């Protein structure tokens, strides 16, 4: 079993090589540029700030009107454990999260992976965009993420229009 001391020593060793810092800076820098891309297409007020995270995830949220009015949002996420870009349906709080998870579950949602609410879980629905990527090809990656996020949004909005009309 590892101890905090041995974990810190391992971290020190890895950081002394410099590759962890360069990789992390590349991911956060890309996510910042991706956020700017979405702010340009969705409007600055419809995009949250960037959350850099603690090597768990880096993300920002989009607030399309049809989701925002329901207390929902889309999160564009880089998950460090999965080493994957994802799009999530998320909520403003745990009550709204539970409400929409139940709505999706009870009405046969099957488009993307439904995530059962639990401590530390923020997603209602998760969609993996790409676990194989090249940050050097950022324009192509941005195009893939944008297309996946917009298709995800269309599917979610279509479902909500039927099962949760406002």
Q: What is the pLDDT of residues 131-151, one digit of tens each?
A: 789 999 999 999 999 999 999
Q: What is the pLDDT of residues 92-134, one digit of tens each?
A: 999 999 999 999 999 999 999 999 999 999 999 999 998 789 9
* Residue 139: CB atoms within 10 Å: 8
Instruction: Give the mean model confidence (pLDDT) for residues 53-68.
Output: 95
DSSP 111-154: SSEE----TT--EEEEEEEESS--GGGHHHHHHHHHHHHHHHHH
Contact 147, 99 (CB under 8 A): no
Alpha-carbon distance 127 to 123, whole Å? Answer: 10
Q: Helix, strand, coil proportions of the chain in percent (round to 5)?
A: 50, 20, 25
Judged against a pLDDT cut of 70, whether residue 77 lies above it is answered with yes
List the domain boundaries for the chain. Answer: 4-163
pLDDT at 48: 97
pLDDT at 92: 95
Instruction: Give the mean model confidence (pLDDT) for residues 41-49.
Output: 94
pLDDT at 33: 97
pLDDT at 1: 65
Over pLDDT 70: what percentage of the chain? 99
Measured in degrees and rounded to the nearest 5, phi and psi for residue 94 equal -65, -35
For the chain, the average pLDDT equals 95
Strands in 57-62's sheet, in edge-to-edge order, are 57-62, 72-79, 84-91, 123-130, 113-114
């Amino acid at each position: 079993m590892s101890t905090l001391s041995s974990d810190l020593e391992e971290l020190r060793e890895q950081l002394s090589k410099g590759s962890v810092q360069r990789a992390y800076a590349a991911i956060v820098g890309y996510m910042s540029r991706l956020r700017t891309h979405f702010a340009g297409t969705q409007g600055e007020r419809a995009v949250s700030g960037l959350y850099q995270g603690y090597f768990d995830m880096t993300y920002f949220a989009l607030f399309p009107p049809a989701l925002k009015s329901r207390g929902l949002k889309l999160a564009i996420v880089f998950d460090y454990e999965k080493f994957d870009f994802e799009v999530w349906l998320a909520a403003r709080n745990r009550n709204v999260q539970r409400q929409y998870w139940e709505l999706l579950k009870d009405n046969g949602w099957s488009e993307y992976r439904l995530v059962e609410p639990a401590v530390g879980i923020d997603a209602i629905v998760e969609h993996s965009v790409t676990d194989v990527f090249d940050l050097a090809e950022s324009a192509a990656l941005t195009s893939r993420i944008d297309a996946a996020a917009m298709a995800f949004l269309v599917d979610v909005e279509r479902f909500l229009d039927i099962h949760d009309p406002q």
